[in-house]
Amino acid sequence: MIVEIPHNLTPASLLGFSQTLDNLPDDELYEFDFGAARWFPPFSMLLLSVLLKRFRDQRPDSRCRARNHENHTYAAYLGFFQSFGLRHGNEPGEAPGSDSYVPITRLDVAEIQAEADAAWVEPGEIIEARARELSGVLTQTDSGPLFDTLSYAIREIIRNTVEHSGAEAVLLCAQHWPTRHEVEVGIADAGVGIQQGLANNPSYRGLTNRDALQTALMPGVSGNPQAGRGQEVWQNSGYGLYMTNRICRNGGRFMICSGDSAISLNQANKTELPCNMPGTAVRMLLNTHRLPELREQLQRFRDEGHQAAQTIRGANRSFASTASQMLSIDFDPDRGLDD
């Protein structure tokens, strides 16, 4: 049978496609039609990659083919096709990366762990170094509000994969459009998903995917029952998703998808969408115009979070770990962002 890849590659249409794919009847041959050339945004590229990979893995007795993939030279260049096993174009991470994008990149969790062990440091430090590298590629600098914010946000989402998902690898892809004052970062894993991650904490067992997503975004909520005990920098405190989603919503957008549920948030609105996602996928859309004011807001986010955590069942009420507070950020508000 021929399976058409949605023409409109928005996250919403791909979440719909995740359900379509899962409901396809059995067949010997599936031919995926990529259609005419069009824009593949970073997060959409990641979603499609994890969905096609899962489809292939779930139907080992069927053959999968592609048609019209030759039309998509940019996606091929970024490693999209190879990322789900189709031998066409660059491998993930092969394209050099430029001042505007990070190609599809695969970080191996065991490698991060081994590197941390060899250097006698916590994996958080290795992840921080990777996140700063990626942020450096996107911003072409090594300091300033945009560099710091991106380093932080990318680090927190990668940490979550490494610390909670059980996945072998994390996939990411990102792009910066200086003239649009916009950065999009997509990070996905094929691990246990938010619902199961949270269920490691007895306070959050038996939640639906939807309720687990809502809960995980709250301050002080962690699947780690030890969250907030001890004062180590990298100790879980349940603030990673809370802080990153508030940062993105400051003029941008934050989306998280896991299992049969996705939530997309901007400053004023929440949209919920049904889907069928393996693991966890996060989309962060940052408005670079609004970052200088973020400095003052971070303290407020943390204080509001801490106050809210007092009323949330099972939440860590004592503190946000140093890592999750984002205190390492030292903004120079006079510095231009896109110059």
Ligand X SMILES: Nc1ncnc2c1ncn2[C@@H]1O[C@H](COP(=O)(O)OP(=O)(O)OP(=O)(O)O)[C@@H](O)[C@H]1O
Nearest approach in angstroms of CB 246 to ligand X is 11
Looking at residues 249 to 288 of the shown chain, list those that interact with ligand X (rule: CB under 6 A). Answer: 280
Beta carbons of 147 and 337 less than 8 angstroms apart: no
**Total residues interacting with ligand X, rule: CB under 6 A:** 29
Rounded Cα distance, 137 and 127, in Å? 15
Rounded Cα distance, 336 and 339, in Å? 6
64 or 129: whose CB is closer to ligand X? 129
H or E element that contains 107: strand 101-108
CA 227-216-255 angle, 5° bins: 140
Site string for ligand X, 132-161 (x = CB under 6 A): ------------------------x---xx
Q: Which of 41, 79, 92, 223 binds ligand X (CB under 6 A)?
A: 223
Rounded Cα distance, 65 and 85, in Å? 11
Rounded Cα distance, 104 and 90, in Å? 10
Nearest approach in angstroms of CB 327 to ligand X is 13
**Total residues interacting with Mg ion, rule: CB under 5 A:** 2
Nearest approach in angstroms of CB 185 to ligand X is 14
Distant-in-sequence, close-in-space partners of 262: CB < 8 Å, separation ≥ 6: 11, 15, 213, 255, 256, 272, 273, 274, 275, 277
Return the closest-CA partner of residue 80 out of 98, 69, 92: 92
240 binds Mg ion (CB under 5 A): yes
> Residue 113 in 3-state DSSP?
helix
Stretch that binds Mg ion, among 110-118, 208-216, 233-241, 327-335 (CB under 5 A): 233-241
222 binds ligand X (CB under 6 A): yes
Stretch that binds ligand X, among 35-43, 106-114, 173-181, 220-228 (CB under 6 A): 220-228
Nearest approach in angstroms of CB 113 to ligand X is 16
Beta carbons of 285 and 254 less than 8 angstroms apart: yes
Stretch that binds Mg ion, among 34-42, 120-128, 155-163, 171-179 (CB under 5 A): 155-163
Nearest approach in angstroms of CB 100 to Mg ion is 28
Q: Which of 11, 42, 191, 305 binds ligand X (CB under 6 A)?
A: 191
Nearest approach in angstroms of CB 34 to ligand X is 28
Return the closest-CA partner of residue 217 out of 190, 237, 244, 197: 244
Rounded Cα distance, 144 and 146, in Å? 6
Chain residues in the site for ligand X (CB under 6 A): 156, 160-161, 163-165, 189, 191-194, 197-198, 216, 221-224, 227, 236-242, 280, 321, 324
Chain residues in the site for Mg ion (CB under 5 A): 160, 240
